Amino acid sequence: MLGLKPGVRVAGRYELLQPLGEGGMGEVWSALHLITGKRIALKALKADKAARPELVHRFFREARAATAVTHPNVVSVHDVLSYAGAPVMVMELLEGESLAERLRREGRLELPRLAELLVPIVSAVGTAHARGIVHRDLKPENIFLSSSPSGGVIPKVLDFGIAKLTYDDAAGLSALTRTGSMVGTPFYMSPEQAAGEKDFDHRCDVWALGVICFEALSGARPFQGDNFGQVFKRIITEPAPSLKQRRPELPRAVVELVDGMLAKDRAARAALSEVLAVLSQHTDVRAPRFGAPQSELPPEPAAGFTRDSLEAAPALEPVATLADANATAEEPLPESLPPSSPLLETLGATTLGDAVRPRQRRALPLGSLALGAAALLTVASGIWWSLPRPSAAPAREPSPPIAARAATPPPAPFEAPAPTPPASEPPPAASPGKPLASHVPRLLAAPGVAKLREAAPSASALPARGEPEPPKKLPGGILDQDRAPF
């Protein structure tokens, strides 16, 4: 005996509250997580069953199959641990009733109600098939109608205890599923299961869902008998009755679908994608789509699942603390990355330190500054020579003091003459004896000076006489009124 009772603590963090159910294999309790305060369900294998390796293997098979299928309509398994030498499964706590209890109370279901419940179940089973998992024991007892917080119902697939994981085909069936062992519940077994065949696949789940649909819509199972022997014989030898005989008013597509799910030849059975398509026409409920059935899964560990391997499993690593996170964050960055790193190529750096440090402004070379100054002086000279001047330059008077200069009005603005269009023929080259003014037309015709003259304001844009005009600043920071004549 495991000695499970209210108040008992399992693994130091789960406190048992009350029993939820008990069967031949184990018992299920509601429990409270002492750290998070969340209520969960604990499923424990009975002590006498825990002494049988094949049953322990089946228990772990259920946990692995359930966790391998990520689907909102598959019961969640959070952990597996050991208590008093027996394995214990930590699962989500469900509140509600099974489909079997609903059928016992209501007798049968109308098509829209059945479609609402089975569309999510078909999606969950199809997702399991796409992961290479065959349930092999689908029945109304293993379809749980869980109550949602909003008051609705969330169907859940339970008990993957005898689920077939495809690595069994490579490693050989365990003692649980060897020839001669019965796998499944007789009323919902496919013909190949009832005949004891070893190569049955995902299509046995299609058969079981067909039996569930027949029973839920008609109120009776398709195959009955006084004992299991009679049931097996009829499943193997007799054709399944048509749903039309029990519910002639049902849509033809639904009748043909259920009849196709109960085909003796598994190659002729309907696919789950067809089942989902037909049932979805009679409900607004939508469920995740799934892929084609797969026949491969990651291989099972060579040692398999045993009670000894569970007890020898290492403890969980402690959760990292804030101090550990800070210490990690303060570690220095590596000084270099591989030379071919795309990050360094994008950032134009040779090391990771160069990439994350702020860049310093590079000084311009002296040669570039000298070339820029020479170009600016050339343009300024061309502009100066393009301006009109009196024939004789008067002698410059000494500049007044700054205070007197501020009180003296600026000189009257000059009127720039209209630009002279360039001659049709290039001017002759100036002889060495001619004055420098003879070179002005050629300077004015230069591309750079012509652009500057076009950008300069015209005479109409200049202020009228008598209006004060601020002194002009020529290139190089020289004020127009301070310009010295040459």
| Three-state secondary structure of 241-269 | CCHHHHCCCCCHHHHHHHHHHCCCCHHHC
pLDDT (tens digit, 0 to 9) for every residue of the chain, 486 residues total?
578 999 999 999 999 999 998 877 889 999 999 999 999 999 998 888 888 888 888 888 888 888 888 899 999 999 999 898 899 999 999 999 999 999 999 999 999 999 999 999 999 999 999 998 899 899 999 999 999 888 899 999 998 765 554 434 333 333 333 333 444 578 999 999 999 888 889 999 999 999 999 999 999 999 999 888 999 999 999 999 999 999 999 999 999 999 999 999 999 999 999 999 999 999 999 999 898 887 644 444 444 445 455 555 444 333 333 233 333 333 343 444 444 444 334 444 444 344 434 444 445 555 656 666 666 677 666 665 666 555 544 555 555 554 444 445 555 555 555 555 555 555 555 445 555 555 556 656 666 656 656 655 555 555 555 555 565 555 555 555 544 444
Q: What's residue 200's pLDDT?
A: 82
Q: Which residue has the tokens 């789509």?
A: 289
Q: What's residue 160's pLDDT?
A: 77
Residue 394 phi, psi (nearest 5): -70, 155
Please give the domain boundaries of the chain with CATH numbers for all domains. 9-92 (3.30.200.20), 96-306 (1.10.510.10)
Helical segments of 262-313, H only:
272-279, 307-311
CA distance 349 to 355: 5
Helices 272-279 & 203-218 angle (0-180, nearest 10)? 30
The token pair at 443 is 């300077």
Helical segments of 401-461, H only:
402-407, 440-445, 447-455
Helix, coil or strand: residue 386: helix
For residues 88 and 28, the answer to whether their CB atoms sit within 8 Å is no
CA distance 247 to 266: 24
Long-range contacts of residues 15-21, Cβ cutoff 8 Å, at least 24 apart: 16/42
CA distance 132 to 65: 10
Q: What's residue 161's pLDDT?
A: 61
Q: What's residue 417's pLDDT?
A: 55
CA distance 466 to 297: 98
Helices 99-106 & 203-218 angle (0-180, nearest 10)? 30
Q: Name which of 144, 169, 165 is nearest 154 in CA terms.
A: 144
Q: What's residue 185's pLDDT?
A: 78
CA distance 60 to 83: 15
Q: What's residue 126's pLDDT?
A: 95
CA distance 289 to 272: 11
Strands 96-98 and 143-147: antiparallel
Q: What's residue 364's pLDDT?
A: 52
**pTM of the complete model beyond 0.85:** no
Catalytic sites, residue numbers: 137
Gap between the terminal Cα atoms of the chain? 119
Burial 262-292 (b: 16+ CB within 10 A, else e): bbbebeebbbbebbbebbbebbebebeebee
Q: What's residue 426's pLDDT?
A: 54
